[in-house]
Amino acid sequence: MEITIRSERILQRIDALAQIGKISETGVCRLALSPEDREAVLVVEGWMKEAGLTTRIDAFGNLIGRLEGSDPLAPAVMLGSHIDTQPYAGRFDGIIGVIGAIETVQRFRETGFVPAVPVEVVSFCDEEGCRFNKGLFGVRGMLGRLEEGELERTDRNGVTRREALLAFGGSPDAFAESEYKPGAVGAYLELHIEQGPVLEAMDRPVGIVTGISGPIWWTVTMSGFAGHAGSVPMSMRCDALVGAARVITGLKELASREEGAPTVGTVGSLQVFPDSRNIIPEWVQFTVDLRDIDKERRDRLEAELRALIAEAAEENGLTYEIREDTVSDPRYCAERIMNVISEAADGIGLKDTPKLMSGPFHDAMEMSRYCDYGMIFVRSKDGISHNPAEYSSPGDIAAGTELLYRTALVLCGRAASQHPGMEAHSSLKEA
């Protein structure tokens, strides 16, 4: 592979961010809108300025850097991802997309490349959604897609999103001013670790994403009646945890039914009240995460899961409530951008770069509702993510960033053959 980006600079920046919110040798906790998140945003803003970008933090907490093109009124090419993390996270998820985007623009400046259109680099606020149980906040805000009551959502300490956003420096009163007008961005490109085992199984450093599975996130509450664990006969109980257990195991069976399908179903959070050894559980709340790239199959499984919850509640004398936190259809990448990525990969010696879908959602999923989008995946060791053991090698990250850089050159409206030092790759054509 021919690498022209500065891989050492990328690795130094990854390591610098990993020190903010560090919880172990390789683990990071940098929750959205936390003091640690704010500290990291300011560090990243400094790198954006170093790369020649004009920066701002918008009302939603998004960090945005802009490099004007020769036509400043043309729709921009946007590159980005996020730097907030899960509470028990590694140092690469989202981060390589932001640092790779900065590196791309910095190489533009260092080589004298002037894009024909503006370029924006964005570190989106609260992609993960773990703190307030609803993610993609910053990108949805930017696109005017926030829902009623989102600012009143609370974290586990009772802090509302509104309070956290104000402390961070955001401004709910200025949301309308930070929303993007139609046509302001013409294409969005995101570099991200795969977070799965497919590329490693194929022994390939990078992949081209074809689309993102549509997630359904629910919070389910099942309510029964508390009683003494030693005196209430089994036949007379209204045990909320028994009903919830039926649903949890049933979700696994539903998601596993079709062999080879990419369907996944997860219950990742469970709360029990009163949470005592010798009291029958009266109230249980749990999350549901159901995803599939095939909308028809996902919708069918959703209907079956709703029926299962109703059945489990009736069998155990319970009432229940399903709160929809996130529901999104699968989103498919633009063919024209996938073709540019593929040609760019050929240009650096990565022939027949594999194409694969994304099970996790990304900021790109929301950007797809606004403009064409593409994604590049970097191989994840053992397919691990949302864990301090998450790892992508320096060589793979360099390959992914080089691919991002060369794709951006084309999307920004100038053929690679016109770019200093890249005459050998004239096969790349303007999108």
Pairing of strands 372-378, 185-193: parallel
pTM for the whole structure:
0.84
pLDDT digits (tens, 9 = 90+) for 182-210: 999 999 999 999 999 999 999 999 999 99
Assess whether 35 and 147 both reside in one domain. Answer: yes
CA atoms within 13 A on the CB side of 5: 30
Are 220 and 258 contained in the same domain? yes
Beta bridge partners of 211: 332
- 3-state class of 94 per DSSP? coil
Q: Which of 327, 356, 371 is the last residue of a domain?
A: 327
pLDDT of residue 417: 37
Neighbours of 62 (CB within 10 A): 24
Residue 249 shares a structural domain with residue 339:
no
**Do the domain assignments include residue 2?**
no
Is the separation of the CB atoms in 171 and 207 below 8 Å?
no
Residues 302 and 364 in one domain: no
Query: Among residues 142, 210, 212, which one has the least CA distance to residue 170?
Result: 142
Q: Of 327, 356, 390, which marks where a domain is finished?
A: 327
**Whole-angstrom Cα distance, residue 281 to residue 229?**
9
> How confident is the prediction for the chain on average, in pLDDT?
94
Q: Are residues 196 and 336 in the same domain?
A: yes
pLDDT tens per residue across span 19-33:
999 999 999 999 999
The per-residue pLDDT for 326 is 84
- Say whether both 219 and 205 belong to one domain: no
Q: Which amino acid is at 377?
A: F
Domain that holds residue 301: 214-327
Please indicate, yes or no, whether residues 95 and 237 belong to a single structural domain of this protein: no
Shared domain for 13 and 130, answered yes or no, is yes
* Domain stops at, among 276, 295, 327: 327
Residue 423 has pLDDT above 60, yes or no: no
Query: Which residue, 350, 340, 354, is CA-closest to 404?
Result: 340
Domain assignment of residue 317, yes or no: yes
Percent of the chain with pLDDT over 70: 96
Is the domain of 344 the same as that of 306?
Answer: no
- Cα dihedral sign, 233-234-238-241: positive
Domain tally, the chain? 2
How many Cα atoms sit within 13 Å of 114 on the Cβ side? Answer: 5
1 occurs within a structural domain: no
Task: Give mean pLDDT, residues 95-109.
Answer: 98
- The mean-pLDDT minimum among 23-27, 39-43, 366-370, 415-419 falls in 415-419
For the cut 70, the answer to whether the pLDDT of residue 381 exceeds it is yes
pLDDT band of 8, cuts 50, 70, 90: very high
Tell me: do 134 and 189 sit in the same domain.
yes
Same domain, 38 and 65: yes
Both 228 and 295 in a single domain? yes
- Per-residue pLDDT of 299-329, as tens digits, reads 999 999 999 999 999 999 999 999 998 888 9
For residue 81, list its beta bridge partners: 123
Partners of residue 292 on adjacent β-strands: 214
* Model pLDDT for residues 227-239, shown as the tens digit of each residue: 999 999 999 999 9
